Structure 1
Amino acid sequence: MNYGFIDDETIVKQAKKICDCIGHGMHGTAMQMIIETAVVETGLGRIEDKTVGAGMGLTQFDELPFKDILKRNMKSRDKILKELGVDIGLVEWNDLRYNSYLALLFARLLYWLKGDPIPKTIEERAAYWKLHYNTKLGKGTPEHYLEMNKKYGIKAKV
């Protein structure tokens, strides 16, 4: 199960292009955040998430946040279409299943809408992920985030 994962270099290029459009965040760590999210959720495509009702694609994106993002990001639709070549109004949740670019894009849009700055350190990002992505109801922990990123994370500088 690879969820559309090709290789680390492609993921870094996709994340950079997405963040060049939407923003790298106050601390310049948005690329790390969305890549680390893919790592913790699926081992960057190396592990199938067998959780019942699991999210979609490389970042295991849930359907309710997906629908919310579509509603709340329509003001950015033209910019995203022009700079990223994606008309988010035409994207369906299932499209994220095998498309790493869309999975990373929607993860970035979710974090962007949160309003809280993406933290500088991986330890802080682990807690941020738990709060904003995995949520209180999710089984993931900041410790799991750190373990997965140590084991499956991209070794090249992001």
Structure 2
Amino acid sequence: MALTLATTFRDDWSPQDFVTTIIEPVLCHLGAFSPAAVQLLLGTAVHESMGLRHRRQIGGGPARGYFQMEGATHDDIWTNYLAYRADLKAKIESLIRPGNDKHYELEHNDNYAAAMARAHYRRQPAALPGFDDIDAQANYWKQYYNTPLGAGTPAKYKSDWNTHVPSAITYRTSC
């Protein structure tokens, strides 16, 4: 599937627009689409960015973009995961705008940031939690994205989901 990049930098995404314009097309581009993956990435972005509002970590920390990925995590994915998966690496590289640094892209290119968040989840040993199982998604996020030593909690993830994601959000079922 050809990916139509969202080329306009936006800081006013609604969850529905973010799903339709960023997450679903990126997952289709990567060949990693499932409704459960879409929902997990939306939950991650909504929680990490406080409702799709913050592209930089509050308090001056190193995390960037709506998925709040740290540079060290980003670099580890490239070195220890994508380096051994040429097809996925090429698909993610195709999302980087010419001349831009990858760390800059984490903050300013939502397509790239979504792809890197999905790559982060793809390298985990456990299967993704099911669609509409927000409890399981919150626990999965904590275990594999925030990590057991991180400050986040599944309860806060679920609270952010309930606060920022409307129940009427729609998801495509396939690419």
Whole-Å separation in 1 of the counterparts to 2:105 and 2:70: 12
1:18: Cα distance to partner?
A: 1.9
SS at 1:18's partner residue?
helix
- 2:68 corresponds to which of 60, 69, 85: 60
Question: Structure 1 residues 129-138 or 2-11, which shifts more?
Answer: 2-11
Gaps of at least 5 residues in structure 1 are: none
- Residue segments in structure 2 that go unaligned for 5+ positions in a row: 1-8
Cα contact 1:4–1:58 (8 A) shared by 2: no
1:93 to 2:111 alignment: no
One-letter amino acid of the counterpart of residue 148, structure 2:
K
Identity, % of aligned positions = 24
Q: Distance in 2 between matches of 1:9 and 1:143?
A: 23
- CA offsets per residue over residues 19-39 of structure 1, 9 Å max, x none? 2223135xx410101110001
Shift of 1:17: 1.5
Q: 1:154 to 1:43 in 2, by over 3 A?
A: farther
CA shift digits 1:83-105 (9 cap, x unpaired) = xx4259x7511221132222211
Equivalent in the alignment of 2:4? none
Q: Does the 8 Å CA contact 2:48/2:68 hold for their aligned counterparts?
A: yes
Shift of 1:154: 4.6
Which has the higher Rg, Structure 1 or Structure 2? 2
Quote the RMSD (CA, aligned, Å).
2.6
Give the corresponding residue for 1:125.
137
Which residue is 2:33 aligned to? 24
TM-score, structure 1 normalization: 0.82
- CA–CA distance in 1 between the matches of 2:125 and 2:111? 22
**What is the number of equivalent residue pairs in this alignment?**
152
Partner of 2:40: 33
Q: How far 1:3 sits from its partner (Å)?
A: 7.3
How many Å separate the matches in 2 of 1:142 and 1:63? 23
User: Counterparts of 2:10 and 2:51 in 1: how far apart (Å)?
Assistant: 8
- What is the deviation of 1:115? 3.0
Q: What displacement does 1:113 show?
A: 1.1
Q: Does 2:34 correspond to 1:42?
A: no
What letter matches 2:146 in structure 1? N
Question: Alpha-carbon deviation of 1:123?
Answer: 0.2
Amino acid of the structure 1 residue aligned with 2:107: R
Secondary structure in structure 1 of the residue aligned to 2:123: helix
State the alpha-carbon separation in 2 of the partners of residues 91 and 44 from structure 1.
26
Secondary structure at 2:52 match in 1 = coil
